[in-house]
Amino acid sequence: MSRDAQIRPRYETDLAQPVTAFLESQGYTVRSEVNGCDIVGLRDGRMVVVELKRNFTVTLLAQAADRQRVADAVYVALPRPAEPLRGKRWRILRHLLRRLELGLLFVSFSTEKPRVQIVFHPVPFDRKRDHRRRQVLLREADGRSSDFNRGGSSRRKLVTAYRENALHIACGLEALGDSSPAALRALGTGARTRAILYDNVYGWFERVDRGVYRLRDAGREALAEYPDLAGHYRNEITRRR
């Protein structure tokens, strides 16, 4: 465990002295608790506001965003976290702060004299879209026949477009018995049928002869796990036959 993880400030005020000293070393005149702002730094007509918090909260973001109405630059100051800064949580939080055009300071208590680290300055955010991720999202959404997930759920495995296609194929094998990809495609299982059977990612299928596949018990259990989706495809297969 890092020393930063062991030494955590008890109060937000513990962050104030290191941040004040840091700003003063940069030539700012510092005043604390000015009209609700934790720390205000003034230099050559420029105003910098720093909001202090022991933890990253929505309240912190709301306060910092409000200070942008009056300050030239706004930073949030937090104790340096114990977890790796490359983890998913911090990647998301850093992106959020950058998107809000806020700066980020970390205060480390791992040495006798606390140290302030500038993680990044507040700068205008480039709000261009990530077209590659957008296309991935569109393909996934368009690849689902309906909405078989519940927003916010985490207990049941999500029905992705790939899983839905595999369940459709499982229903086809259930109805036809041992079958070829061509016979299954005639039931509407789609162009990826052969690849899904061959890859057998979930272990639901078994090749019993050249170009002929069978539904395994694991596939039948999967159909029982998703009764709504299985019922949807069973009805569609009955209609097509």
Residue 113's CATH number = 3.40.1350.10
Residue 144 counted as domain residue: no
241 residues of the chain, pLDDT tens digit each = 445 444 666 667 789 999 999 999 999 999 999 998 999 999 999 999 999 998 889 999 999 999 999 999 999 999 988 766 677 888 889 899 999 999 999 998 888 888 999 999 999 887 777 778 778 777 777 777 666 655 544 555 677 889 999 999 999 999 999 999 999 999 999 999 999 999 999 999 999 999 999 999 999 999 999 898 899 899 989 988 7
Whether 116 and 222 map to the same domain: the answer is no
Which structure tokens are listed for 221? 């259990």
Whether 236 and 196 map to the same domain: the answer is yes
What's the alpha-carbon Rg for the chain, to the nearest Å?
A: 28
Residue 130 counted as domain residue: no
101, 127 contact by CB (below 8 A): no
CA distance 58 to 145: 36
Residue 176 lies in domain:
149-240
Task: Give the closest residue to 52 by CA, choosing from 68, 63, 42.
Answer: 63
Q: With 0.75 as the threshold, say if the pTM is over it.
A: no
Element (H, E) at 42: strand 37-43
Whether 108 and 160 map to the same domain: the answer is no
Residue 139 counted as domain residue: no
Q: Is the dihedral of CA 229, 232, 235, 240 positive or negative?
A: negative
Q: What is the CATH number of the domain that holds 180?
A: 1.10.10
Domain count, the chain: 2
